[in-house]
Amino acid sequence: MAIVAIVAAVISLGMMAVAVWQARSAKRSADVAEADLAESRKQTTAAEQAAAAARQQVAEARRQNEIAEEQLRLAQEELDAGQQRCQKEESARHVEAVYKALLAAAELRDELRDDATAVLEHQDRPQSPFGVEPQLILFGRAESAWDAAVNTIRVDKPSSPEVTAAIGTYDEYARNAIQAIEGARDKAEEHRLSMSAAQELVALVNRRDDEYEALKGVCDEFFAANGFNPDRLTVSDES
């Protein structure tokens, strides 16, 4: 019986030792699991913080992008407005130059008529018994104004090639008429202007209205295309 009791006691001690070992092992496992859990939570917290920081960076990047886009939009609007202003200023400058050229052409048309008439009358003047003949002077004021207007057109060409070409055509006619008038004047100074030469001069000068109207027609189309109505101008506007 004593042996049985001893064996039972040994077995009991062994079982207690196993139980203690299992308990300690379970505690170690629990400690490890708790440590793992704490580390996991720590990592989760860090990940959440990193995610929050990333979201904040994304939000800031979007805000900066929106600011940049708004600045770009404003800059584009300013650029477009500047280009429109430049186009309007250029259009207004071209319209003014063409209008001044048309006014100068009208004045030159009248001057060609007056100068040709003066030359023909000078040819038919009675000869002085004293041998002293008056000299015919042609001032060419309208010619000078026309030359200035044409030079402006040549330097700052309008956007319409048709206008430039029409002004060039009228200028060529005006040069020929002026040259013919000056040549006729030189002959009229000595009463040497022949009837045929006088008739040719009259025929050339009589084309002035047709030449002017052709120029005016092209200019009127240019004015209409640019929203300009010369008929609405007053005398002060023209000056």
pLDDT in tens, 205-236: 999 999 999 999 999 999 999 998 887 653 33
Which pair of tokens denotes residue 43?
A: 């990592």
The predicted pLDDT at position 239 comes to: 41
Quote the CA–CA distance of 48 and 179 in Å, as a whole number.
95
Q: Is 134 helix (H, G, I), strand (E, B) or coil?
A: coil
pTM of model > 0.75: no
211 and 173 in contact (C-beta within 8 Å)? yes
- Cα pseudo-dihedral 58, 64, 65, 67, rounded to 10: 150
pLDDT single digits (tens) 155-192: 988 889 999 999 999 999 999 999 999 999 999 988 89
Rounded CA-CA distance 182/118 in Å is 11
Query: What average pLDDT does the segment 4-15 reach?
Result: 74
- Look at residues 159, 138, 48 and name the one whose alpha carbon lies nearest to residue 94: 159
Distance CA 131, CA 238 (A): 47
For the chain, give the mean pLDDT. Answer: 86
155-158: list long-range contacts, CB under 8 Å, 24+ apart.
Answer: 156/93, 156/94, 156/97, 158/94, 158/97, 158/98, 158/222
Contact 98, 222 (CB under 8 A): yes
Rounded CA-CA distance 36/50 in Å is 20
For residue 34, what is the enclosing H or E element?
A: helix 2-123
According to the model, what pLDDT value does residue 233 have? Answer: 55
pLDDT band at 129 (very low <50, low <70, confident <90, very high): low
Q: How far apart are the first and last CA of the chain?
A: 146
Determine the 3-state secondary structure of 198 from DSSP.
helix
Spatial CA neighbour of 160 closest among 217, 233, 231 = 217
